[in-house]
Structure 1
Amino acid sequence: MAIVLVTGATAGFGQACATTFAAKGYDVIITGRRKERLEEVSTQLTQEFGVNVLALHFDVRNQDEVNTVLGGIPEEWRRIDVLVNNAGLAAGLDPIDQGNTEDWDAMIDTNIKGLLYVSHVVMPWMRSRTSGHIINIGSTAAKIVYAKGNVYCATKAAVDAITQGMRIDLLPYRIKVTAVHPGAAETEFSMVRFKGNEDKAKAVYEGLIALSAQDVADVVYYCTTLPPHVCINDLVMTPIQQANAYYTDRK
């Protein structure tokens, strides 16, 4: 049985990815910081699809937790075929000179370091089998910097660069590495960025038919279905009304 590991699986892209892979018969490892939501998702996947689910409660920002909890999983769960590094966030939307340094730390620690910590545990398992697929969830913000995006854009540009580095360094082990960069997608993303301000969060998608979490999950899954000799290295996806992180047509 194939196994997928999805970080940040309690909502948004992560939950949609976990559900999509489970629907295709994958056993699923899900991780998240919200224990109650993690258990809800685990129960839902087990009941709806009859797959095995391993729910791991830890914060990707905490390397000790990652090493202990993820690094301590049973041997039979270590045969991970697909790793979806999804855990990430945007916090704040301020000019860089007025930025909240706690927001900076949260984004850098989650979007960059968290991805690295999880990958550092999983990559040797894939390498030992000379197979596997790592999918890193980036953003159109990785490709173009927009006003007040500063540190968030920088973290996603780092994800882009790290993905390229992984692809190069893991080349001898036949491990596929793909970056999927979504544009405007209506999930909890903006609610988190604006710290619960619903009006500001809704304004982000005004006049747009935004991507859904399922749209992104479908593309992630598609990338894993190609023949063994085919690897999508870099994929940018947007709503039809969005060209990149800056240009949209809201008419």
Structure 2
Amino acid sequence: MRQIVLDTETTGLDWRNGDRVIEIGCVELLNRNLTGRHFHVYINPERGIDAEAIAVHGITEEFLADKPKFRDVANDFMDFVRDAELVIHNASFDVGFLDHELSLLGHAKLDALCAGVIDTLRMAKEQNPGKKASLDALCDRYEIDNAARTLHGALLDAELLAEVYLAMTRGQESLMMLLDDEPAAGSGEDGGSPVERPPLRVLRASAEELGEHDRVLQEIAKANKGACLWIPPVPAEEAPAVQ
């Protein structure tokens, strides 16, 4: 199972207003283990950066002036994430931006390129309703060291999110291990000969219980104007003649 934990930084909050991606950070998980492979790039957005965005990530236009354009790194990015499941915090934000960048170049969107998307923000809110679900809050909850995160950064945030995601889903990993360890149904503990089971004890309803059951069905039929699925219809030859 190959997963890519992904984060982006952007010039602003909405690609519909012309904002662009300026940093992409990805780390690879293979069977829930960090492989050490990553994809990281700064991108020249060919436009200005909102002051509010710079306050969040600290990336300036001057720093990006000599960096590649998205069209220059698109193929490498697509090759890295292709066929993997993406793990993203607040996925709609990053996916919206990346889909827009890909569409500007005539490429397919992420849902056609990747195997799916897991939104850890939604997952965190479902697991702990009413509690803070920011990346910093989740690092605190799962005791993950985020001291180096003085500003947002795509690669650092992807690395932290990978640790958070593994901590959030550790119970699922344990469940899968238990399922893998279970012997096949009908086999012995060593998967060999079938286990001998005692015969099942059959308890049949008494006449009193059958009568009570019939009474309840008649009440249901009466309340539903004769319609009761559990009362079989009387064959025509057995029905009383109409006077």
The TM-score with structure 1 as length reference comes to 0.27
Question: Which structure would you say has the larger Rg?
Answer: 2
